[in-house]
């Protein structure tokens, strides 16, 4: 079986049972659920927006639905609400710098949001990142409150796949790759 080889994650940590969840313990426990990594893009009058997510879930096959969760105050969430559409770009193992860049606080917005990140205009003019494993162009079907996040349920209207490559993973707060 393939192993996680490049994540310099912390040691084994302490075992916990029956703890009341606070933000830190919840993050640590849910961080043991390894995920892929995606960059969600959208486009509006102010230019493109992009943010890194691992809250991506496939919801339904017929109709094809997926969801992402974006935290309160997310610039990209506001842009998606305004545009009514977004594209999910599933990242490959070589795109950790892109993932980190699109998660960085204080990064440029508007026309410079994707500066240095190779991309092309795709479905509805929304950026598709070059080298992504796959992408999904979605119309916002529903926007639901989810605590301090907003859940965007997207109907997949267009999709594409790139070359076969290994995925970028996120595990215990670190990027990881398959061995
Ligand atoms: C691997 C990874 C996964 C992330 N997943 C999410 C997510 O699912 N939802 C979210 O709101 N923020 C997530 N973040 C944090 C955002 O990418 C980050 O806060 C970003 O600066 C928010 O930009 P925005 O205001 O354009 O949304 C993640 C960050 C990383 C590194």
pLDDT per position as a tens digit, 38-88: 999 999 998 999 999 999 999 999 999 999 999 999 999 999 999 999 999
**Mean pLDDT value across the chain:** 92
53 alpha carbon – ligand 1 mean position (Å): 5
Ligand 1: residue whose CA is nearest its atom 10? 70
**Domain annotation covers residue 123:** yes
pLDDT of 99 above 80 = yes
**Domain annotation covers residue 113:** yes
pLDDT per position as a tens digit, 132-170: 999 999 999 999 999 999 999 999 999 999 989 999 999
Alpha carbons within 13 angstroms on the beta-carbon side of residue 34 total: 13
pLDDT at 2: 43
Number of domains, the chain = 1
Structural domain span for residue 90: 35-172
**Domain annotation covers residue 178:** no
51 alpha carbon – ligand 1 mean position (Å): 6
Cα 53 to Cα 76: distance, rounded to the nearest angstrom: 11
**Domain annotation covers residue 8:** no
Ligand 1 binding residues, C-beta < 6 A: 37, 49, 51-55, 69-71, 74-77, 99, 103, 105, 170
The total of other beta-carbon atoms located within 10 Å of residue 102's CB is 26
What's 119's domain CATH number? 2.30.110.10
């Amino acid at each position: 079986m393939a192993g996680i080889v490049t994540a310099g994650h912390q040691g084994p940590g302490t075992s916990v049972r029956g703890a009341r969840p606070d933000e830190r313990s919840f993050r640590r426990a849910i961080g043991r659920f390894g995920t892929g990594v995606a960059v969600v893009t959208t486009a509006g009058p102010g230019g493109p927006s992009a943010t890194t997510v691992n809250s991506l879930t496939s919801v339904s096959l017929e109709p094809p639905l997926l969801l992402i969760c974006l935290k309160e105050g997310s610039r990209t969430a506001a842009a998606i609400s305004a545009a009514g559409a977004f594209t999910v770009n599933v990242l490959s193992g070589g795109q950790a710098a892109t993932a980190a860049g699109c998660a960085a606080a204080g990064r440029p917005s508007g026309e410079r949001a994707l500066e240095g990140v190779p991309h092309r205009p795709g479905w509805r003019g929304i950026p598709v990142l070059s080298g992504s494993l796959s992408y999904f162009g979605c119309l916002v079907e529903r926007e639901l409150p989810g605590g301090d996040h907003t859940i965007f349920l997207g109907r997949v209207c267009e999709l594409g796949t790139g070359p076969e490559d290994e995925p970028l993973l996120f595990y215990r707060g670190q990027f990881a790759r398959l061995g």
